[in-house]
Amino acid sequence: MDYSALIACHECDLLQRRVRLHGGAVARCRRCAAELYRDSPHGIERSLACTLAALLLFLIANAYPIVGLEVQGNRQEASLYDTVHTLWIQDRKDVALLIAVTTMVAPAIEIGLLLYLLFPLQLNRLAAGAVPILRFLDTVHPWSMMEVFVLGILVSLVKLEHLAHVEAGIALWAFGGLIPVLIAAANAFNSDEIWAKVSVLR
């Protein structure tokens, strides 16, 4: 028997038969309505495009200052790295690490591994170690918190407005652009299809 025709809901374990989907439709569990799988037209191409855009924006977000502050002619700028570095030298290494992991390390790993998987997959080839990498991506994903960081920037800007003149840096725009790109990437990435493709290519 071909068990790939069956699916067990990952939230309530109800066993269901797969149906073929068209036009970007989503299959939901008939008992708990969890999303089981979906049809994502050109899913791999779209994920690849979104991930490349995310890489570009992520590099800009890391390379340029997020905000500038001007007090009595003094100008101070802070980049993402500065936030980690300052906490580190203030001996708040634990908080520094938490910020580094959630805004730099996890997003970088996620973007890097996705590109490493998706480029060969697009050409119907399988990257070495694709299976453990796909599993690892599930573990990394919750710790990548760039969208929360963007909200953090906005709140800090308002808090500082009362103290000094604040200016948005280039990285702020890059961060702002990352949010829709990340949402689009998450929508395009169809892990069910990718797992199926991986098992065919192996």
Partner 1 sequence: MSRSALTAAQLGYYGCHACNLVAPVQPGRHDAVCVRCGHHLHLRKPDSVTRSWAFLIAGYILYVPANVLPIMHTSSLFGAQSDTIMSGVVYLWTSGSWHLALIVFIASILVPSAKLLAMTFLLLSVQRRSVWDPLQRTKMYRIVELVGRWSMLDIFVVAILVALVQLQSLATIEAGLGAVAFGAVVVLTMFAAMEFDPRLIWDPQGGRRG
- H/E stretch holding 76: strand 74-78
Asked whether position 66 contacts partner 1 by CB under 8 A, the answer is yes
d(CA 93, CA 99): 10
Q: Which residue has the tokens 């708040």?
A: 92
d(CA 99, CA 84): 6
Nearer Cβ to partner 1 (50/172): 172
Count of C-beta atoms within a 10 Å radius of residue 189: 21
> Among 20, 22, 23, 72, which residue sits at the site for partner 1 (rule: CB under 8 A)?
72
Dihedral sign computed on CA atoms, order 62, 63, 66, 72: positive
* Stretch 153-172 residues interacting with partner 1 (CB under 8 A): 153-156, 158-160, 162-164
Nearer Cβ to partner 1 (125/159): 159
Asked whether position 92 contacts partner 1 by CB under 8 A, the answer is yes
Q: Which stretch binds partner 1 (CB under 8 A): 42-50, 107-115, 116-124, 150-158?
A: 150-158
Which 3 state secondary structure label does DSSP give 167?
A: strand
Q: Work out what residue 187 binds among Zn ion, partner 1, none; the CB cut-off runs from 5 to 8 Å by kind.
A: none
Q: Which two tokens stand for residue 172?
A: 């702020």
Cβ pair 64, 171 in contact under 8 A: yes
Q: Which two tokens stand for residue 156?
A: 């800090």
Asked whether position 128 contacts partner 1 by CB under 8 A, the answer is no
- 175 residue type, one letter: F
Asked whether position 17 contacts partner 1 by CB under 8 A, the answer is no
Q: How far is the CB of 35 from partner 1 (least distance, A)?
A: 10
Asked whether position 4 contacts partner 1 by CB under 8 A, the answer is yes
- H/E stretch holding 172: helix 170-188
Asked whether position 186 contacts partner 1 by CB under 8 A, the answer is no
Q: Where are the alpha helices (DSSP H) in 24-105?
A: 43-63, 80-89, 93-100
Q: Which stretch binds partner 1 (CB under 8 A): 38-46, 51-59, 113-121, 190-198?
A: 190-198
Q: Give the footprint of partner 1 on this chain (CB under 8 A).
A: 3-4, 6-15, 30-34, 37, 66-67, 69, 71-72, 74, 76, 78, 82-87, 90, 92, 94-95, 98-99, 102-103, 131-132, 134-135, 138, 142, 145, 148-149, 151-156, 158-160, 162-164, 192, 195, 198-199
